[in-house]
Amino acid sequence: AQSVTQLDSQVPVFEEAPVELRCNYSSSVSVYLFWYVQYPNQGLQLLLKYLSGSTLVESINGFEAEFNKSQTSFHLRKPSVHISDTAEYFCAVSHQGAQKLVFGQGTRLTINP
Amino acid sequence: GAVVSQHPSWVICKSGTSVKIECRSLDFQATTMFWYRQFPKQSLMLMATSNEGSKATYEQGVEKDKFLINHASLTLSTLTVTSAHPEDSSFYICSASKPGTEGTEAFFGQGTRLTVV
């Protein structure tokens, strides 16, 4: 069975400060890893994903995440956040070849001016 | 990308009535769709896997007679909450899987907020 742990339920940061949202997973098989963002009362939007290849993946809005197999982690980072980044962020994992996603508990990112 | 549309975006119903939520893949065919439930300030919990042309596969603890899932076509899955009660109030989100060059990706609907009064 797979599981995902997001260690921080809430992360408050000041605008233009760097941020890291932590995600650890457990799985006995190879996995795909995802970060999704959810704005209030909306569905989920894919932020970035790791399927294979380079362990560092980037999104178009400045976020990046690094797959670390030895530490079973997929932490999300951004060097300088904006007010518009305020949202709930979910880390998720799926089996390679499967389609079901297992989600972490979510991290609420709050940006203060 | 791909578009998944969920309807309605919110609904209020009386206790004891049934509510149907639709999930459509607008620009691709989805043989598999998923239904999730999200309680306030919590994560998404998978309820069931909806397979086109066959019965849905429910996760442990989900009442299949209460949450009826129909996947009659490659672009539409419906979730019907039967005899709804206040404890069924929640945010329901669907996703549809689309095969891609780098594996299958899930695209999510915008969610439906159900309030049972």
> For residue B71, which of B31, B15, B20 has the smallest C-alpha distance?
B31
* Residue A98 in this model has a pLDDT that exceeds 80: no
- Residue A69 CB coordination number (10 Å): 10
Residues 6+ apart with CB under 8 A from B10: B112, B113, B114, B115
Q: Which residues of B lie inside 8 Å of A (Cβ-Cβ)?
A: 4, 6, 32, 34, 41-46, 49, 91, 93, 95, 97, 102-111, 113
SS3 content of chain B, % helix, strand, coil (to 5): 5, 55, 40
Q: Report the pLDDT value the prediction gives residue A2, as an integer from 0 to 100.
A: 80
Q: Give the percent of chain A with pLDDT over 70.
A: 97
A 62-101 residues inside an 8 A Cβ radius of B: 90, 96-97, 99-101
Q: Report the pLDDT value the prediction gives residue B66, as an integer from 0 to 100.
A: 96
> For residue A79, which of A13, A37, A12, A17 has the smallest C-alpha distance?
A17
* Residue A50 in this model has a pLDDT that exceeds 80: yes
Question: How does pLDDT run across B55-91, given as a tens digit for each residue?
Answer: 899 999 999 999 999 998 889 999 999 999 999 999 9
* Residue B102 in this model has a pLDDT that exceeds 70: no
Any idea what DSSP says for residue B42?
S
Contacts of A106 in chain B (CB under 8 A): 41-43
Any idea what DSSP says for residue B59?
P
Model confidence band, residue A42 (pLDDT cutoffs 50, 70, 90): confident
**Contact B66/B82 with Cβ under 8 angstroms?**
yes
> For residue B44, which of A105, A74, A22, A42 has the smallest C-alpha distance?
A105
Contacts of A2 in chain B (CB under 8 A): none
